[in-house]
Amino acid sequence: MSERDERDSGTPPGRWRRPDASMSLLADLFEGRVADPGYAEAAARRRAAGTAPAPGRPRALAALVLLLVGVLLAVAVAQVRRGEPVAARQRARLVDEIHGRTGETDDLARRLNTLRGETARLRAAALAQSAAGRRADRVLAAAETAAAARPATGQALVVTLDDAPRDGGSDTAADDGRVYDQDLQILVNGLWAAGSTAVAINGLRLTPTTAIRTAGEAVLVDYRPLTGPYEVTALGSAGRLRAAFTGSAADLRLTALRDRYGLRYGMRTEGSARLAAAAPSAPRYARPAGERE
């Protein structure tokens, strides 16, 4: 650096100016020096007065925080363990209530079937007393058969569908090997297409308005829960039904599910089967014949 440069820069002659002199504050901070002596004096006074924070205080504070966290976790675990028996009792009570209500519903359904049979016998006896009554009885019988409101008997093709055996595998495999509502829907539609005249699942007769749905892990047929194995009975000529159903789209789908996921799927024929009448459904939109809107 020339003398002129030294004069212009304000640096005394004979001394070189550091390139980082303008960053002296940052340099002092990085080198551990105090930027202002006043800060050092204040810290010294606090140490002399005994108000400076003790070196072990942060560690004690961290230990206290960890202790509080541990206590909270212990209390939470105790509350969960204490609540498990209560939840188990509540679930058991709900299950018992469901079984009790289901039993009451079944008893009422059996009583309804008995009364319906007595009513049908009395009605047939009354209609048989005249030619017009006999014609009306034949028309009514055809309508009741189409609506599944009359018991049906005859040869049958019985198709059995059930979940795959549980082998302790993953939940995904268990879900893949479960029978879902759409599987039963496809099976029932395939049996109707094959020429069946009446269909029932586990003895529950299907009507034109019967819904097959899933609620959780249960399959609902006409809003009643059913469990596997699902035995689907289709009335009709057993030989023709089996020939028409074998190789159909429904049969191919269920066969693929059996081969890939292990669903249990099989069929057999029966020489005689009887399906009970379905529960009557009240029409939502109906008016007497001849009545205008």
Cα gap 157→195, rounded to integer Å: 11
Q: Which of 248, 231, 247 is nearest to 159 (CA)?
A: 231
Q: Strand, coil or helix: what is 255? A: helix
Q: What is the pLDDT of residues 203-261, one digit of tens each?
A: 999 988 889 998 877 889 988 888 889 999 999 999 999 999 999 999 999 999 999 99
Tell whether the model's pLDDT for residue 123 goes beyond 50.
yes
Joined together, the tokens standing for residue 276 give 């009970």
In the block, residue with structure tokens 């650096």: 1
Residues linked to residue 230 through DSSP beta bridges, in sequence order: 161
CA angle 96, 100, 105 (to 5 degrees): 145
Q: What is the pLDDT of residue 14?
A: 46
The domain limits of the chain are 153-275
Q: How far is CA 218 from the centre of its chain?
A: 9
User: Is the domain 153-275 a CATH 3.40.50.720 member?
Assistant: no
Q: What is the pLDDT of residues 125-156, one digit of tens each?
A: 998 899 998 899 888 888 888 888 888 999 99
Burial (CB < 10 A; 0-12, 13-18, 19+), residue 258, is: middle
Residue scoring higher pLDDT (186 or 67): 186
CA 38, 44, 46, 52: dihedral to nearest 10 degrees? Answer: 120
